[in-house]
Structure 1
Amino acid sequence: MRNRGGLKIRLLIGGAIILFSLFKYYSNREVNEYTGKKQSITLTPEDEIAIGLQSAPSMAQQHGGLYPSQEAQDLVDRVGNSLVNNSIARNTPYQYDFHLLRDPEAINAFALPGGQIFITYALFSKLENEDQLAGVLGHEIGHVVGRHSAERMAKQGLTQGILSGVMVGADGGAGQMAAMVANAINMKYGRGDELESDDLGVKFMIKAGYQPEEMIGVMQILKSAAGPNRVPEFQSTHPDPENRIEKIKEAIEKYR
């Protein structure tokens, strides 16, 4: 009887934790005025800017610092600022800064909350023209405008709260199963963010006068870099490059 009573208490506490997590998540729903997408976000734009500025130096350090060429950095700045100044990005409260990183091995580009955007020299050196660079930077600007980092933080808070509730109210096996489900959900959200950023990137490229078809070339570069042993899409936060190419073609038709 005592064990049954303890289980009932654990279930009540676990349920309360889950309900609180759901309430916190859904009470912070708002429409992103730049994308029209409804999101759950707990950070203000000022919070996002502060997080990005605080994190930028350590992120650069992880990739060997900045690439030692002012000419190359000037090109990145010129293309990035052209995309911002000719699109809805200029109306956002974010501070856009573009950083060319020294890293010669990791083929990557990424954005921190609030407008700090990075591209490694490993990727920069493989790009064939300025339009492809615009494709990469436009995609990353899309992450900032879409507030994907802030949205992801809120979603991780929700899944962590649900996991905590399950772990309190159930046995270890159920908790492990819940963790696997939560991880799969977050991956799905990640793929959705990537596709939205591709869509926004195409829109920004067209507005700034770049050829959006060159973003397809970027996808081919990424596919080639991943090689034949790339992770299957359902196990990855990024959609398969072939799927992204199809969506990019649709976006080109839509915005042109």
Structure 2
Amino acid sequence: MRRGNRKVKLLIGLGIILFTVFQYYSKSEVNTYTGKKQHISISPEKEIAIGLQSTPYMAQQHGGLHPDKKYQEFVDMVGNKLVNSSIAAQTPYQFDFHLLKDTQTINAFALPGGQIFITYALFSKLENEDQLAGVLGHEIGHVVGRHSAERMSKQELTKGLLNGVAVGFDPSTAEGVAAIANVLNLSYGRDDELESDYLGVKIMIDAGYNPNALIGVMEILKAAAGPNKTPERLSTHPDPENRIEKIKEAIESYKQ
């Protein structure tokens, strides 16, 4: 009887795994703006809604919005110039740019659908308008590349696989699958960053900015990380040195 229960659990577990894999791979499309084939389960409209709903929470996490209207207007001006001069203007996304009050966290990030943030800690270290364009162009690249939506689909895939393994196999096997999935997701994160750098260079050039300024941004991030930075294999972001080389390659490719 016990052996029969094991077989039933195994079949159920395999069924969950097969269904999850089928769901993931059946929802594939080619990104109109990058030409990349992606597995995405939500619409651009849903991305926009998620981004708008999450914006107040993300601002709160970083101390709210920066009170200086002139700084915010400057960020808006550069961001809108980048959007209106590039492929971003052809997308259905609603781009909004937010300068966060946070003076400690050197960071910039994008939510699905076009909500883009930069902390004052990073903003204050930038040396010129071109570097700001580099930061915002990179984040616009994440939105155009639909990286958040793609990551959500990967998380659903991982969740389904883990559920199937937990039901049909030994729990220790599920732990192994989780570890492998974590490594794969870190790798996907690094690929997204490199693609956003590549897109960011193109977006900068289209708007008339000097793409070499993005290299200066990488130097700022490198200095901020210091000697105790997280090894690349354990981070969702590639090492700034590697990013600099890829950015140089992107700049050269657009000159041709």
Whether TM exceeds 0.5 here: the answer is yes
166-175 or 44-53: bigger deviation = 166-175
Cα distance, 1:169 vs structure 2: 1.3
Q: Which amino acid aligns with 1:121?
A: Y
1:249 and 1:240 mapped to 2: Cα distance? Answer: 15
Q: How big is the shift at 1:160?
A: 0.8
Q: For the residues of structure 2 that align with 1:233 and 1:11, how far apart are their CA atoms? A: 37
| Pairwise CA RMSD | 0.7
The residue type equivalent to 1:206 in the other structure is: I
Q: Distance in 1 between matches of 2:22 and 2:174?
A: 21
- Asked if 1:174 corresponds to 2:173, the answer is yes
Aligned residues: 255
8 A contact 2:165–2:171 mirrored in 1: no
Question: What is the identity percentage for the equivalent residue pairs of Structure 1 and Structure 2?
Answer: 71
Are positions 1:191 and 2:190 aligned together?
yes
**Per the alignment, in what secondary structure is the counterpart of residue 35 of structure 2?**
coil
Instruction: Report the AA paired with residue 145 of structure 1.
Output: V
**Structure 2 residue aligned with 1:47:** 46
SS in 2 for 1:228: coil
Give 1:173 deviation, angstroms: 1.2
- 2:104 counterpart letter in structure 1: E
Q: Secondary structure at 2:38's aligned position in 1? A: strand
Consecutive unaligned residues of structure 2, counting only runs of 5 or more, are none
2:234 counterpart residue number: 235
CA distance in 2, matches of 1:146, 1:113: 10
Q: 2:176 is aligned with what amino acid? A: M
- Output one character per residue of 1:157-189: Cα deviation in whole Å (capped at 9) or x when no partner: 001101111111111211111110011111111
Residues 111-170 of structure 1 deviation map (CA, whole Å, 9 limit, x = unaligned): 000000000000000001100000000000000000000000001000110111111111
| Counterpart AA for 1:176 | E
CA deviation digits over 1:207-243, x for unaligned, max 9?
1111101101111111111111111111111111111
* Superposition map of 1:55-204 within 5 A: 55-204=54-203
Greater shift in the superposed pair: 2-11 or 169-178: 2-11
| Bigger mean CA offset, 167-176 vs 24-33 | 167-176
Provide the C-alpha distance between the structure 1 equivalents of 2:171 and 2:24, rounded to a whole number of angstroms: 25
Distance 1:173 1:52 in 2: 36
Moved over 4 A (4+): none
TM-score by length of 2: 0.98
Q: Normalized against structure 1, the TM-score is what?
A: 0.98
Letter in 1 for 2:251: I
Question: In the aligned structure 1, how far is the partner of 2:157 from the partner of 2:245?
Answer: 32
Aligned position for 1:248: 247
